[in-house]
Structure 1
Amino acid sequence: MMYKIEMLDMRKVRNWILLSLTLLLSCNRDAVYTVSIQGELEGVKYGTAYLRTFGEKDSFLLSSAIEKGRFVLEGVLPEKGRYTLQINRKVLYLFLDGEKIQLKGDYKQLNNSDVKGSLANELEQEFYLLLEENYQKEFRELQAIYREIIQQEDQHAADDVMSQMLKLDEKRYVLVRDFIKTHPDNIFSIFLANTEIKGSYEKGKELYALLSPSMQQTAQGREVKQQVDELAVSALGVPCPEIQAETEQGELVVIDSLKGNFVVLDFWASWCGPCRQEMKNLRILHKEFAVKGVRFVSISFDDSVEKWKEACEEEQIPWMSLHDKNGWKNSKIRKAMGIQFIPFIVLLDRDGNIIAKNIRRNQLRDKLLEVTEE
């Protein structure tokens, strides 16, 4: 046991040296965050507690031996934010913004509610309770109905229910926006803003503006600002970024060549079940609006050309079907359009400008009716 404790102490010294060098080289002294996490656990006597950078498995920032269920993690972190606390095999993802944090509870049932002294962590729990009552319950109910209808193969009914589910996204956005507005000076609000942008320049700009200047200047705040700035090239009303993709025969098609038509861009992949389901609705819309000068184009992010071609054969897509040869991970199209998930549908006007993003089902149909009847 003595050997293990000595090794942990050496690691702690090393961590302190690295953090001290970071602080000496840092220009933003306000970002310095000193924290003490005191743990008192039942159901575990010995082991090790680690604090890591969130999302990075090997980035150990602080460590402490556990003796008779107690440990103390003390040190200097780059800034307040989200971190990973690992206690033996137990892992908690925490928002830390207090100087003195207490963790007390049963090891086997340990969760974020056992953490005291971090307002950001408490706000996270408050928000998700709010979300559960005002969004999640209704969403799950609609989701259950949708699954039953899909089994009955009633596409029109399925489109109606899916449209209701999509409208709930706006309700969720309002909840997020109002929560950030109420808590503009907390790191948890930065996290909310970042997760709710969802490829929308307009929403990202609004949410970022609600953050306090001090939150905007944090590393996490600057990441939100960078994401918003990158989305400016695919904002509503601007020309669609350059999109080039290949046909099954390997011919290159430039979307800009379709100017003069309204264009529905359907981004999908063979492995995406909801994408394949979305095509059932697009078939209905294609029959209704192709005669009105609307062009439909599906662009796949499949990494495998073979799997894409196989899916095209299965779907018998009646409109132009293209493939982004860079696949999902390396797609320049996906980055330019701010696509984080699929299906993702974009509508272009006759001049090639973006007039709607992330629009589906009845919402898409209503928009197509609006623009084609003008």
Structure 2
Amino acid sequence: MKIITVLLSAAFLLCNCGGSNYTVSGHYGLAPGDSVFLFASNKSIIGSGVMATDTTFRLKGKVAGTDIATLSDRDRLLTPTLIFLEAGDIRLEPREEGVYEATGTPLNDSLLLLNRKLEALRNEYIKMTPATPHEEVEAIFARFEEIPRAMMNANLDNIFGLWLFSAYEFPNMLQDDTRRAQIRPCMTAFSPGMQAHTIMQELQKELAGFENAQIGHRFTNLTLTDTQGEPISLSSLVEPGRWVLLDFWATWCAPCCHEIPHLREAYAAYKAKGFEIYAVSLDNDEAKWRSFTSANDMPWINVQGIDADKRSTAAAAYGITSIPANFLISPDGIIVAKNLRGGELSKKLAEMLE
């Protein structure tokens, strides 16, 4: 499961004087009288309004240049709608249940075009059967990567292109051994303004974290709070005679939850022999996370990996782009294995501890 942490990491250039005028209006899934909010990437509110009796709204303001915003209710219970904030009249319309799309300005129209192209591909894929030739299936998968890449290359001087890089190209390249070396050349292909953008800076940190978190490298320390609100550092666990599994997961991640019985089995078998788990949750809902760990017999160290601004510095430090993800750390602090699934963890621990 993809973790969406860097897509909205832009620094806003908004002010009450100067800049260009924008409006955001349309229909939204709130009741008349409810408030709708426009959020900056740091979760600060940069605009708000009240839903009219016909469930429409209208926000207006000024923006210097272009950047990324999200629209939602105050508590962000509705799925936030991505908006490229730029001069002009931005219109929001429902696409399907709980999903809204922005249109009316160049960058938002470009996003709409991307979504339509990918939707058409998904419809083609759905129609395929087990009898469909393998070459046709592979061609569809290739197109899923080619379409965003082509649009990115046509927008290397604006925030839409940078967003495409962060959302599509960067994660794909990071996980592809044959393309990973192309990441930095791809970064330098962007305009100077985009290279200096906060999104690009965050991606550079994530790339550095990924490179540092390879087998044979020393672990990077984390200090996070447990279910009782107490800070626990990863470095406090790494010591002679102790093997530590650094595990990134979330309650909303089905594959992560599937791994819990395997973690429980390994913990029961090897805790007395010096094995510990430092499980970093990427849940936004802390109460749900605490309740889940209590109800599902997870007696190891559970810590919260989401920062106050809803990002994860911890995940970035290890270059995490999807979960589940884990790292087995030796007593001398060296990463000796990654992404152990199912019975692989117990098998590896048996090699080390028996």
TM-score normalised per structure 1 = 0.48
Q: 1:212 — aligned with what?
A: 191
Q: Residue 194 of structure 1 aligns to which amino acid in structure 2?
A: S
Give the counterpart of 1:327 among 289, 295, 304.
Answer: 304
Q: 1:337 — aligned with what?
A: 318
Query: Gapped runs of 5+ residues in structure 1?
Result: 1-16, 24-32, 143-167, 314-320
String of CA shifts for 1:141-187, please: whole Å, max 9, x gaps.
99xxxxxxxxxxxxxxxxxxxxxxxxx99996676555433432231
Decide which structure has greater helix share.
Answer: 1
Kindly report the root-mean-square deviation, in angstroms, between the aligned alpha carbons of the 2 structures.
Answer: 6.2
Change (3 A) 1:283 1:226: closer
Q: 1:180 — aligned with what?
A: 152
State whether residues 36 and 75 of structure 1, in contact with CA within 8 Å, keep that contact through their aligned partners in structure 2. Answer: yes
Between the aligned partners of 1:220 and 1:342, the Cα distance in structure 2 is 21
Q: In the TM superposition, what is the alpha-carbon distance from 1:230 to its structure 2 partner?
A: 5.2
The alignment partner of 1:35 has SS state of strand
String of CA shifts for 1:227-250, please: whole Å, max 9, x gaps.
44555543566322247999xxx9
Between the aligned partners of 2:117 and 2:143, the Cα distance in structure 1 is 12
The alignment partner of 2:220 has SS state of coil
Q: What does residue range 283-302 of structure 1 map to in structure 2 within 5 Å?
A: 298-301=277-280
Q: Does 1:311 align with 2:296?
A: yes
Between the aligned partners of 1:236 and 1:276, the Cα distance in structure 2 is 25
State whether residues 186 and 215 of structure 1, in contact with CA within 8 Å, keep that contact through their aligned partners in structure 2. Answer: yes
Q: 2:83 — aligned with what?
A: 94
Q: 1:121 — aligned with what?
A: 108
The alignment partner of 1:238 has SS state of coil
String of CA shifts for 1:334-373, please: whole Å, max 9, x gaps.
55324476422236699865577557579x89xx9xxx9x
Change (3 A) 1:127 1:178: same
Q: Does 1:192 align with 2:164?
A: yes
Q: Residue 110 of structure 2 aligns to which amino acid in structure 1?
A: L
Q: What does residue range 12-91 of structure 1 map to in structure 2 within 5 Å?
A: 19-20=16-17, 33-37=19-23, 52-54=38-40, 59-61=45-47, 75-84=61-70
Q: What does residue range 254-273 of structure 1 map to in structure 2 within 5 Å?
A: 254-255=237-238, 257=240, 265-268=246-249, 273=254
Q: Residue 84 of structure 2 aligns to which amino acid in structure 1?
A: F
String of CA shifts for 1:32-59, please: whole Å, max 9, x gaps.
x523448699xxxx99998833467762
Change (3 A) 1:126 1:77: same
Change (3 A) 1:350 1:129: farther
Change (3 A) 1:77 1:51: farther
Q: 1:274 — aligned with what?
A: 255
State whether residues 190 and 221 of structure 1, in contact with CA within 8 Å, keep that contact through their aligned partners in structure 2. Answer: yes
Q: Residue 311 of structure 1 aligns to which amino acid in structure 2?
A: N
The alignment partner of 2:115 has SS state of helix
Between the aligned partners of 1:210 and 1:359, the Cα distance in structure 2 is 36
Change (3 A) 1:174 1:232: farther
The alignment partner of 1:101 has SS state of strand
Choose 1 or 2 for highest CA Rg. 1
Q: 2:132 — aligned with what?
A: none
Between the aligned partners of 1:80 and 1:190, the Cα distance in structure 2 is 12
State whether residues 190 and 224 of structure 1, in contact with CA within 8 Å, keep that contact through their aligned partners in structure 2. Answer: no
Q: In the TM superposition, what is the alpha-carbon distance from 1:323 to its structure 2 partner?
A: 1.0
Q: Residue 113 of structure 2 aligns to which amino acid in structure 1?
A: E
